[in-house]
Structure formats: C-alpha cells, structure tokens
Amino acid sequence: MTKLKNIKAVVSDLDGTLLNPQHRISEYTKSVFQELHNQGYLIVVATGRHHLDALSIIDTLAVPVYLVSSNGGRIHSPNKEELFAFNLDSDVVKAALNIEIDPDVTVV
C-alpha cells in the first residue's frame, strides 16, 4: 500500500462499509486498517450508531480509531475519551415524543 502524500486521514462508515454481511469486520479489512495505521494515517469511523455499540465493533480493529457516533452527536478519541457530546435537553425530547403525528406517516 503506497501512502498518498495529500491524504492524512481515512474516514469510514460501519454498516455497509466496514462491516460484512455478517455484521463483522473481516480479517482482510483489519489487515488494511493495520497497514493504514502503520503508515501513519489518522483513522476515523463515523456512524449513526450509539457510541457504546460502535466502540465494541471498532475495538476489533486493534488500531487507534477516532469514533464519531450518533450521527455526529458524540466524538471519542482512540483511548475512548469523550471529546465532544451534543445532548438534547430532556424537555425537547419530551416535546418531540408528544407530537401528534398522522397515523399514515411512518415514524422511526
């Protein structure tokens, strides 16, 4: 793997990208990330998943990885230190849960 001079970081999603159809990171993908780490790239995984779910997955890479989770709501360093968190105020959540929604609309 030849290091590209202009690229300093590699950012990847989990679902449909790093994870195979069995929802695991393959040994080949782990070897690629090990080589990226060996060549000095900053590695970031970005996902919509909750950080606790994502941390257990990226731990299997066995290289330092920054984690951007909850669609950007949290950022953790490779040593799992929380660097950023955006938490909704509980009143906002309660108000959102109490909105009357047309039953023909699917809510996720």
Please determine, for residue 2, whether its predicted confidence score (pLDDT) is greater than 70.
no
pTM attached to this predicted model:
0.81
What φ, ψ does residue 50 adopt, rounded to 5°?
A: -65, 145
* Average pLDDT value over all residues in the chain: 92
Per-residue model confidence as pLDDT tens digits over 64-106? 999 999 999 999 999 999 999 999 899 998 898 888 889 898 8
CA dist list (Å): 20 to 11, 14, 29, 47: 17, 9, 10, 15
Domain boundaries, the chain: 9-97
Write down how long the chain is: 108
CA atoms within 13 A on the CB side of 15: 8
Q: For residue 101, what pLDDT is reported? A: 87
Class of domain 9-97: alpha beta
Active site residue 15: no
Note every long-range contact of 42-46, with CB atoms under 8 Å and residues 24 or more positions apart, other chains counting: 42/8, 42/9, 42/10, 42/66, 43/9, 43/10, 44/9, 44/10, 44/11, 44/12, 44/68, 45/11, 45/12, 45/13, 45/14, 45/18, 46/11, 46/12, 46/13, 46/72
Task: Write out pLDDT tens, residues 4-13.
Answer: 678 899 999 9
